Structure 1
Amino acid sequence: MRRSAPGRRADRLIALSDALVAFGSDGVTPGRRDDVPVRAIVGSASRTADFDARFRPRHRDVRARHCPVGSTGVPPVKLVQLGELYFVIDGHHRIGAAIRARLTTVEADVVGIRTIAFASACLRPHHLATKAAERRFLERVPLDHAIRPHLWLDDPEHWSRLTDAVEAWGFRRALDTRTPTPSREQLAAVWWSDEVLPTVRRMRSRDPRAGDGQIIASYSWALRLRDRGASIRP
């Protein structure tokens, strides 16, 4: 995954609304009080124009408030959690004070929102388009939630190509086995176990360097090799 943001985009917060559009919402988890890593707080529900990525005021009319930092840190803030990322509901200035004091965690009241595409800790604003493409893929190919944290493709178009490939594979399989078309969940599970994993194993046995990336990235590369007429058998 590309972990550094180009240009000035690395210096802005992610809007919670933009993240929810990209990742997709799949329900709410019960609220809790927790110690949250400061580095995982990357966005805001309403004030992305007022603060930069280090929660410093962007404009003179957004006054920097004095937030006391005691031995126990700053007063609790309110956050929304998406995967490994957190977004501020209340407490922007307190988080800024925690960053200046080099605190590693802040106490927070947290509400979690389950997402369709997993929100990894290294995601930044310029990744949202790719995650939106991944979310569209998962809506049509609902892989098990245990697999989703490990999915990543650099190009949104690769997700579109992958969706078409899965559905074509499922159609061919139904014809070959003369069985009814399974549900989307069943198709996703069988495609992963019977097509993706064996294909990646063959690639890695032929060329270990082809397996350096994540499984889905290796499989996507195998599809592109097939499109070029190359064999992926050992």
Structure 2
Amino acid sequence: MEVVLSWWRPRRSGLIPFADALEAVGDEGAMGTYDDEVPLSQVMGSVSRSDDFDDDFRPRRRTDRFQAVLDRFRSGSIPPAVSLVRLGQMYFVVDGHHRVAAARAQGWTHIAAHVRRICSVAYVCSCITVADLPAKAAERRFLEEVPLPEDIRRGLWLDRPADWARLADSALAWEFRQQRDRRGRADVDAHGLASAWWLEEVAPTVSRIRADAPTDLVDVQLYITELARRDGVADLSWPSPHCCPDHTPPP
């Protein structure tokens, strides 16, 4: 039997195109605009120029325009605010690519920005990559079927699309059994059933196995490993942790 859990993650491969990211994680509508000092480490995508910069936001081709912007930074001039779109904890540049690149080259940690925030179905942490988008698309499809609360969504991370499908099958099977057995859930909507599945099935399972598991794994990683164990996957091993500050496992 094929081992379902493969946890190797490729390195970053360039700026994330906004259109690709939004398609993957799902658009739940705009949440307004605001001005802020944005961490440059979280500005990792572009609306229209993802091919012009590498994954550290360095121009792939240095131009007179970039040099002029860099010279203004070096002279101490305060640049105008850049324009960004925010998905979760990641920002995509609409206008101001060279200002972001120059600020990073000068060692700035933050930059002034006009920000338009968009709510997504799947949570966007600050360290996803282009290579993660297929898994995020699978996560979005899972959440469309199993609409978990926002606080739980923030802690979800699985690397493989197949594991999200396995998780959806588990949740929907559990919900079917609850409705079949008529355990007082006839009038519970999809959101209520999703929350009940997590609280009554996932949380107790994770609590039972966490004492013997690596402490840096998030709950859904432990649960998907338990599902694989139940299915008799051979040579099963613990997954590798997702090293992202937005995904903090329970104590």
* Per-residue deviation, 1:22: 0.9
DSSP-derived class of the 2:177 partner: helix
Superposition map of 1:26-105 within 5 A: 26-59=28-61, 64-67=66-69, 68-69=72-73, 71=76, 73-105=78-110
Give the distance between the partners of 1:15 and 1:59, measured in 2 at CA. Answer: 18
Could you say what the CA RMSD is over the residues aligned between the two structures, in angstroms? 2.3
Give the distance between the partners of 1:62 and 1:71, measured in 2 at CA. Answer: 19
Normalised by the length of structure 1, the TM-score is: 0.88
Give the distance between the partners of 1:66 and 1:3, measured in 2 at CA. Answer: 41
Q: Identity over the aligned pairs, expressed in percent?
A: 42
Indicate how the Cα distance of structure 1 residues 4 and 77 shifts in structure 2: closer, same or farther if over 3 A, else same.
Answer: farther
Aligned residues between the structures = 224
- Which consecutive unaligned segments of at least 5 residues does structure 1 have? none
- The counterpart of 2:177, out of the listed 158, 161, 172, is 172
- The counterpart of 2:220, out of the listed 212, 216, 219, is 216
1:182 maps to: 188
Give the distance between the partners of 1:225 and 1:144, measured in 2 at CA. Answer: 27
2:239 maps to: none
Alignment check: 8 A CA contact 2:81 2:113 kept:
yes
- Which consecutive unaligned segments of at least 5 residues does structure 2 have? 1-6, 235-251
* Per-residue deviation, 1:33: 1.0
Superposition map of 1:79-228 within 5 A: 79-177=84-182, 179=184, 180=186, 182-205=188-211, 208-209=212-213, 212-228=216-232
Give the distance between the partners of 1:229 and 1:105, measured in 2 at CA. Answer: 46
Alignment check: 8 A CA contact 1:81 1:110 kept:
yes
2:25 maps to: 23
Indicate how the Cα distance of structure 1 residues 32 and 177 shifts in structure 2: closer, same or farther if over 3 A, else same.
Answer: same
Alignment check: 8 A CA contact 2:13 2:130 kept:
no
Give the distance between the partners of 2:13 and 2:226, measured in 1 at CA. Answer: 36
